[in-house]
Chains A and B, each alone.
Chain A
Amino acid sequence: MATQPINCEQANERITDWLNNQLPETDRVALEAHLKACPACETEANSVRQLWQLMGNVPTPEPGETARVRFQAMLDTYKDTVTTEQESVVDNLLAKLRQLWAPKYAFRLAYSLVLLIIGVATGYWFQRSNTPALAYQQQIDTLSTQVQEMRQMMMLSLLENPAASERLRAVSYTEEINQVDDKVVDALLTTLNNDANVNVRLVTLEALAKLADNPTVREGLVQSITRQESPLVQSALADVMVKLQEKRSIKPLRQLLRDDKLNHLVKGKIEQSIRELS
């Protein structure tokens, strides 16, 4: 096979490949032919070859012996990490299971402990506080009874006060007394019948009307009808009687009608009341 002659440029391009032994056979023959013929290219090729050979002389230092040791150490560590990774998959699962279980267990334990403490504490507290609480209750009861008694006494004494305003206050106290005893009722009825002030008598009437469940009060009220002279009290009494539907009041009311001094307005009122009662 005849080789194609090549020019200097082509030759130059192939010198490196030629030195590198990477030139196809035909190209190699062509290049070598050209180099023989062309002194310039031959010089060039020689200088490159010198350099190329010099490069071949460049010593390649050996890695130190430590390299192998380091590599082994690295490999061993790596193997360890890989195996631990594989192991850790199982470990992780176990750990997760443990985690799932452990906090709950701890939580339960803590919960029951807290409950126990609360129970003990409350029991202890109750035991300590029960007796005093009862005593307090008793004390308070006693005290309130005493206050009631005090009020009653104050009211009774106030009713005898010369000032009408004080007597009004005394009557208003009766609303605050829970259990009105006969003494109070007596005092009120006396006030209703005898008090000089109309206003006091009216307020007393109101107070007594509220106590109308008491038969003594009812009776007192009925008896009081004929004793009243103030038209205001008379009509108020008539109203109370209608409200209480006290039939026994009809007789004293009729008696009142026969009184000449009776105010004509009150007369009409009483007549109406009698009609409503009968």
Chain B
Amino acid sequence: MLQVKAGNMDTMGLLFERYHRPLFGFLFHMTSQREASEDMLQTVFYRMLKYRHTFTGDGEFRSWMYHLARNVLVDYSKQNKRSAHQYDLADVAEKIGGGPAADERFQKEQELDTLHKAMAKLSPENREVLVLSRFQELKYEEIARVLNTTEGAIKVRVHRAMNELKKIYLTLENGNATYKL
């Protein structure tokens, strides 16, 4: 990134190759909107170019990238306050397709669907730490840097988010069970 800052724009392509998948994952898990995430992906990379002078070099590039991505997300949610989280089930189904038995597949689909619903019900702050720690596999220390806070605070937040998620998940699962009956 420092090379990009120095004016070597071609290095940006390298960064894109390395980071666009996890970044897209983050955006997608945060919004559950495929198209919007693709748009935001472009926006984040555009801002990397535009604000390359703000990248100081201390701290990892990844932290800076997530930092920019969060800002893009904030802008996005401001623009789309009304649009609720609607998960593109088609994407999931596509991914799971070709699994073991149909029953098992259906059950897994159910579980994943429930999990997604539960994730969507989390507050954005809690969802964020879970996405960053579980999906993006960032260390607490790194998350703390992205969110501009301490490692301890992140630890507590992840713990709370996990408990909340479990609660919501179980409620939804019970609801499903009742529905099935």
Task: Evaluate contact between A75 and B91: CB separation under 8 angstroms.
Answer: no
Judged by a CB distance under 8 angstroms, whether B92 is at the interface is: yes
Task: Evaluate contact between A47 and B20: CB separation under 8 angstroms.
Answer: no
Q: Which of A16, A71, A72, A79 contacts B158 (CB 8 A)?
A: A16
Distance A63 CA – B139 CA, assembled complex (angstroms): 24
Chain A residue with the shortest CB-CB distance to B45: A71
B158 neighbours in A (Cβ, 8 Å): 16-17, 20
Task: Evaluate contact between A61 and B166: CB separation under 8 angstroms.
Answer: no
Given A47-B166, A79-B9, A61:B95 Cβ within 8 A: yes
Chain A residue with the shortest CB-CB distance to B88: A61
Chain B residue with the shortest CB-CB distance to A14: B159
B20 neighbours in A (Cβ, 8 Å): 63, 67-68, 71
Task: Evaluate contact between B34 and A61: CB separation under 8 angstroms.
Answer: yes
B116 to chain A, nearest CB (A): 7
Chain A residue with the shortest CB-CB distance to B23: A63
Given A74-B45, A75-B12, A78-B46, A22:B140 Cβ within 8 A: yes
What per-residue 1/0 map shows which CB atoms of A55-96 lie under 8 Å from chain B?
A: 111111111101110111011001100100000000000000
Task: Evaluate contact between A55 and B41: CB separation under 8 angstroms.
Answer: no
Task: Evaluate contact between A68 and B29: CB separation under 8 angstroms.
Answer: no
Distance A179 CA – B130 CA, assembled complex (angstroms): 123
Judged by a CB distance under 8 angstroms, whether A48 is at the interface is: yes
Q: Which of B12, B21, B112 contacts A58 (CB 8 A)?
A: B112
Task: Evaluate contact between A75 and B9: CB separation under 8 angstroms.
Answer: yes
A68 neighbours in B (Cβ, 8 Å): 16, 20
Q: In residues 145-170 of chain B, which contact A (Cβ within 8 Å)? A: 155, 158-159, 162, 165-166, 169-170
Chain A residue with the shortest CB-CB distance to B34: A61
Distance A74 CA – B34 CA, assembled complex (angstroms): 19
Distance A272 CA – B158 CA, assembled complex (angstroms): 140
A27 to chain B, nearest CB (A): 12
Chain A residue with the shortest CB-CB distance to B35: A64
Task: Evaluate contact between A58 and B159: CB separation under 8 angstroms.
Answer: no
Q: Which of B13, B28, B112, B165 contacts A61 (CB 8 A)?
A: B28
Given A13-B159, A17-B155, A75-B9, A61:B134 Cβ within 8 A: no
A134 to chain B, nearest CB (A): 81
A82 neighbours in B (Cβ, 8 Å): 9
Task: Evaluate contact between A66 and B38: CB separation under 8 angstroms.
Answer: yes
Q: Which of A47, A54, A79 contacts B112 (CB 8 A)?
A: A54
Given A20-B158, A22-B139, A63:B12 Cβ within 8 A: no
A22 neighbours in B (Cβ, 8 Å): 139-140, 155
Q: List 9 A-B contacts (CB under 8 A).
A: A17-B155, A20-B158, A47-B170, A52-B162, A58-B115, A60-B24, A71-B41, A72-B13, A75-B45
State the 6 A-B residue pairs at the shortest beta-carbon distance, nearest first.
A59-B95, A60-B25, A63-B24, A16-B162, A16-B159, A61-B91
Residues of B bordering A, CB below 8 Å: 9, 12-13, 16, 20-21, 24-25, 28-29, 34, 37-38, 41-42, 45-46, 49-50, 91-92, 95-96, 108, 111-112, 115-116, 130, 133-135, 139-140, 155, 158-159, 162, 165-166, 169-170
